[in-house]
């Protein structure tokens, strides 16, 4: 014999799907999106490396940037001791080197009197 399902409503099958979609939405905003933001910030920091910057590697090694290539960074970790690292191995910049200020250009609309 077959029993008929409750005739209570058709929304009972929609609720679990809605809960799963809500769970994925919360996971995206709580986990995935902040991770993407941190990755973009790290890439920007690594692309802005210049000679003279004091940096820390992911292994905890402090050094001064001597040279920068496309994929690698040459660090001086002690006087006369140089090591080559991949750019993603740079965890953070401790202090940036003094860089010359960019020349200020005037707009065509600005008139000096």
- H or E stretch at 40: helix 33-47
Q: What pLDDT was estimated at residue 6?
A: 53
pLDDT tier at 113, thresholds 50, 70, 90:
very low
- Which sequence spans correspond to the domains of the chain? 13-95
Query: Hey, what CATH topology would domain 13-95 get?
Result: SH3 type barrels. (2.30.30)
pLDDT in tens, 88-98: 999 999 987 77
Q: What's the gap between Cα 95 and its chain centre? A: 18
Whose tokens are 């040279």? That residue is 67
Report the alpha-carbon distance of residue 102 to residue 27 in Å, rounded: 43
pLDDT tens digit string along 1-55?
555 555 555 556 888 899 999 999 999 989 999 999 999 999 999 889 999 999 9
């Amino acid at each position: 014999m077959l029993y008929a399902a409750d005739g209570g409503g058709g929304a009972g099958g929609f609720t679990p799907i809605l809960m799963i979609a809500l769970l994925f939405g919360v996971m995206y905003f709580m986990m995935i999106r902040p991770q993407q933001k941190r990755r973009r910030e790290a890439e920007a920091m690594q692309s802005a490396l210049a000679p003279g910057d004091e940096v820390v590697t992911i292994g905890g090694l402090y050094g001064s940037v001597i040279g920068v290539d496309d994929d690698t960074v040459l660090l001086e970790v002690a006087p006369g001791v140089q090591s080559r690292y991949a750019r993603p191995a740079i965890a953070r910049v401790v202090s940036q080197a003094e860089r010359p200020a960019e020349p200020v250009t005037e707009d065509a609309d600005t008139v000096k009197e």
